[in-house]
Structure formats: structure tokens, C-alpha cells
Amino acid sequence: MDAQLKRGLLDVCVLAAIKDEESYGYKIIKDVRPYIEMSESTLYTILKRLELANMLTVRTSEHDGRLRKYYRITKAGLGRIEDFKDEWREITSIYGFVMKGGSKQ
Amino acid sequence: MTKREFLKALKKKLSHLPRQEANERLTFYGEMIDDRIEDGLSENDTVAQIGSADEIAAQILSEEGAKAKPKSQRNGVMIALLVLGAPIWFSLLVAAFSVVISLYVTLWALVAVVWATFAALCASAVGCVVVGLVIAVSGRVAAGIALFGAALLCAGLAIFLFYGCKAATRGVLALTKKLTQKLFKGGKAA
């Protein structure tokens, strides 16, 4: 997929992965993997960026004798998902235009 | 590669980052590895899946590198070079500038010479007329006429030279205009 396009989508994907309940790093990657490939480095950057934008919160908790970070979505994060849903209508109409455009010639 | 080896290698690659950030990333990767192992992967397979420490460090560097750091480093080096080299390039600049100025002044000096010659011829013509008149009146008509002739010659040369003066002056002025236009246009375009 085009790198620029992917970058915009990954943020929302990560938010969607933590939409219903809090999650942790590896689980997010696993949940998103059937739809889009994401490396650890990419996830790290996205999580940092979303945290800075107050779209998620982080807490550290003990699990099996080691520490694990859990990410939970915020209201702003949910708002971003809603925005994406609105954008999607625009995107589908643009997609229709692109697909149609060729036949006009 | 074991988890510990991987983390050690990664730590070394991230040594240029601020300590807190490097530690955060190391914790993150450590956690990732543990999670995968818990999922059932072997330690070696897990580390292989995540990618080599080099790859990850390169990814991080390409993200960080896009930010301000390299540019400010580059500017610093440029400024240092300019300052250190100042004695050389500045003196060369002054020398070049002086040469240009002297050439320009010489051109105008030449124009001045032509005008001066013209003025001298005019003066000579007038002088010859006056002296010729005096001599003719005092009785030596032939000498007087000769001087009139000389006066005419001077006048003729003066008229001839006048056009030369005008042409020379106009020429140097045009050259000046062209040069200053080039200088300022070049400045504007840059």
C-alpha cells in the first residue's frame, strides 16, 4: 500500500484495536495484522503520537512477574474514529470517481 | 539470538538518543519479545521476527533524522568554515573589488582626457584668433592670417573631438548601467 496512505490509516487502526477494551502492544499488532501489516517500530511511534494527542492513556501493570503497558482509548480517541467514519464517505465517493474516470475516454 | 543479546545490541545502536527515550524503546521491545514468547514462539524465532537490531535502529534513525538535528549541525559547520576562512576569502574579495573599482575609474579618466583635449583645442582656437587679431592689427598680416589658419585647424579638431567625447561618455555610461543591472538582477534572482 502507498506509504502515505498507510500512515494515515494506521493511527485509526490502533485506536480501533483499543476501542472496546484496553489492550497491550503485541495484542494490538495481532488484532490489526489480518487487515494491515505493522512493525514494532511503527507501533511504538504511533502509540507515542496518540499519547501526545491525548487519544489514549497508558498504565503499567504487573503480568506474570513482569511489567506490561496497557493502552486505553480516550474520548478524543473515540472522536478520531468518528471523524474517520465521516471521512470514509468522502473516500468512497473519490474512489468511485477514480474508477469511473478511465471509461470516459 | 537471545533476547538479552538482542536488547544489548539495540541498546548500543540507540546510544545516541537521550537516555530516557532509549530506555523506553528498550522496554517496549523487551515487552514485545516476552509477549511473543508467551504466545508460544521460541526466543530465537521471536527475535528473528522482530527484525535485527540494525534494521530497527535504522528505522528509528530515519524517523529521528527527519527532525531538526542534521540541519542545525550542517549550518553550524558552514558558519564555522566561513568564520575560519574569513582572512582568506575576505581579503580576496576586497582585492577583487579594488581591481574592479580601479578599472572603472581608469575608464572615466580616459573620458576625462578626451574632454580635456577638446577643451585644450577650444582654448587654442580662441587663443589663436585673439593673438592673430592682435598681430594682424599691429601690422604683420601674414602671421595673423597664419594664426587664423591655426585657429581654424584647432576648431576643426575640436569639433571632430567633440563627437568623440560624447561617444566616449555615452559608452562608459551605458557600460556602467549594464553592469549595475547585471549585479542587481543577479542579486534579485538569487
Q: How many CB atoms lie within 10 A of CB B3?
A: 18
Q: How many CB atoms lie within 10 A of CB A23?
A: 20
Alpha carbons B174 and B188: distance in angstroms, whole number: 21
CA distance B74 to chain A (A): 26
Half-sphere exposure of A23 (CA within 13 A, CB side): 21
DSSP state, B1? -
| pLDDT for the residue numbered A18 | 95
Residue the block writes with cell 486505553: A72
pLDDT tens-digit map of A46-81: 999 999 999 999 999 998 888 999 999 999 999 999
Chain A contacts in chain B segment 58-77 (CB below 8 A):
59-60, 63
pLDDT tens-digit map of B4-15: 888 888 888 888
Chain B contacts in chain A segment 45-64 (CB below 8 A):
45, 64
pLDDT tens-digit map of B77-110: 888 888 888 888 888 899 998 998 898 899 899 9
| pLDDT for the residue numbered A82 | 94
Task: For an interface test with B, give the residue of A26, A33, A43 to mutate (most B CBs within 10 A).
Answer: A26
Enter the ipTM: 0.83
**DSSP codes, A33-94:** TTT----HHHHHHHHHHHHHTTSEEEEEEEETTEEEEEEEE-HHHHHHHHHHHHHHHHHHHH
**pLDDT per 10-residue tile (average), chain B, 190 residues:** 82 84 90 87 79 74 57 72 84 90 90 91 90 86 87 90 88 86 64
Q: Are A91 and A26 in contact (CB under 8 A)?
A: no
